[in-house]
Amino acid sequence: MAEKMNKQQLGIAAGLDALMGIAAELDALIAQERLAAWDEHGGDMEQAAWELLAELDRPESE
């Protein structure tokens, strides 16, 4: 019984790890798209990068 639960917990942990990896990749793609759009419209790329970093540092609850 304990072995089955341990395997389930490992499976859940692996699934969560995979989801976190996907979320990180999506964040990176969104950031790239936003920076490209900002650049197309003549925006300050350094300012855009700082704003994106600040956004990523904010807790999810905000």
- For 14-31, what is the HEC assignment? HHHHHHHHHHHHHHHHHH
Secondary structure letter of residue 13 according to DSSP: H
Full-model pTM: 0.58
Residue 56 located in a structural domain: yes
What the block records as the tokens of 47 is 């300012």
As a whole number of angstroms, the distance between CA 53 and CA 48 comes to 9
Domain that holds residue 36: 25-62
How do residues 4-57 score in pLDDT, each as one tens digit?
778 899 999 999 999 999 999 998 898 888 888 887 877 777 887 888 788 877
Contact 16, 33 (CB under 8 A): no
Residue 29 forms part of a structural domain:
yes
- Give the total number of structural domains in the chain: 1
pLDDT at 19: 94
The pLDDT of residue 35: 82
Give the number of residues written for the chain: 62
